[in-house]
Structure 1
Amino acid sequence: FETDCLEVVNLWAARHDSRSIVAPILVEIGELASTFTSFVIQHVSRSANGPAHICAKHACTIDVTESWLDNTPSFLISSLLADCSANAFVE
C-alpha cells in the first residue's frame, strides 16, 4: 500500500502502541492484511501518487458522497492517463 501521507505511515508503524483515534482501525486492517503473504504501507512522494491526490482534493470540495460505478469522472481521466504512461514499461 502506498500513500503520500507520512502520518498514515507513522501511525501504521506504531498502531499497537498508539492512542490515536484511528489505531483500532489500523489494527483491524493489520488483522485483515495478515491473510496476505506480504502487506506493507510505505510513503511515496505526492508526485508519484497523482490520481490519489486528485481524488482526495475532489473529496474535500463535495458535500455528499459520490460513487463512480460505470464511468470515470472527467476530473480524473487525464490524471489516470498520465499516470499510466508514466508507469509504462520501456524496453
Structure 2
Amino acid sequence: MERFLAISPKSQLWLFHTALALNILGMVLTDMWEPMVVGAIVTTYLSIDATVRVRYVLPMKKVLRELEQENASLRRKMADVEQSSAY
C-alpha cells in the first residue's frame, strides 16, 4: 500500500479521481476508445485503491498504533504491580 511515497494519500486520491474524470472525458470527446478504456480501467483501480487507503486503512493503522501503545503501557503497569506484590 505504500507505492507512491512522493505525494500524500489524500493528494493521490484527488490525482487519481481527476485522472479518471479526464479519461472518461477523453472517451466521450475522442474516437480513441481502446487506449482510453484501458486507461479508465487502470485509473478506476487506482482511484478505488486510494479511496480505500484514505478512508479505511490509514485510520485503522492509527487506531492499531494507539492500541499497541496502550497495551504496552498496561503491560508495564502489570509488571510493576507484580514486582511490588512479590515483596
Please indicate, yes or no, whether the TM-score normalized by the shorter chain is above 0.5.
no
The structure whose Rg is larger is: 2
Greater helix share, structure number? 2
Greater strand share, structure number? 1
The normalised TM-score by structure 2 is 0.31
The normalised TM-score by structure 1 is 0.30
